[in-house]
Every structure is written in structure tokens, then in C-alpha cells.
Amino acid sequence: MTIAQSLLTYIADTWMKGDADGLDENVPLLELNIIDSSEIFDLVHHVQTEYRVTVPLREVAPDNFRTVAAIAALVERLRTESEGVR
């Protein structure tokens, strides 16, 4: 399962009562009120726990959480950056 697929499942289960109908990687999550600005922090916690990355506060921005594709790209970038530090 890809990061995006895993995120889609999590979002559907958590905020859409398991109904992922119409939800895909490019759906604007905030604009369609699937999640709100306070729920971004719940999503950040999930991302940090599930994908074992640290999301710096500067990265908790609407652009990084606008769509599932954006969140998946953030996770990949943070993973790459953390591997480069080692």
C-alpha cells in the first residue's frame, strides 16, 4: 500500500465514517471541509506516528496538507531529508 492509499484510508475512516466515495489524492481536504484547520494537527500526529517522521512546525502549513498527494509528498521529502542527515 502506498503512502497516499494509506492516508486515504485513514482520512476516510477518521473523518468520513469510512465512506471514501469521491475521495482521491487530489481532493482539496480543507476547501471541501473534509478536515478543518484544527484537525490538521491530528493528521500531523498520525503522519509522525505512522510514517516515523518528524514534521517541523514550519511544515504544518495549508499547502502541505491541502491534498493527500501533498501530504504524501511531504512524508517522502521528510524521509529523504532525515536519511540525508544520518
Number of domains in the chain: 1
Domain interval for residue 17: 3-85
Using the predicted structure, report yes or no on whether residue 85 has a pLDDT greater than 60. Answer: no
For residue range 19-58, what is the model confidence (pLDDT) as tens digits?
A: 989 999 999 999 999 998 889 999 999 999 999 999 999 9
Using the predicted structure, report yes or no on whether residue 14 has a pLDDT greater than 70. Answer: yes
Using the predicted structure, report yes or no on whether residue 84 has a pLDDT greater than 80. Answer: no
Burial 11-49 (b: 16+ CB within 10 A, else e): bbeebeeeeeeebebebebeeeebbeeebbeebbebbee
* Helix, strand, coil fractions of the chain, as percent rounded to 5: 60, 0, 40
Whichever domain contains 46, its CATH number is: 1.10.1200.10
User: How far is the CA of 47 from the CAs of 21, 33, 50, 60, 61, in angstroms?
Assistant: 22, 19, 5, 11, 14
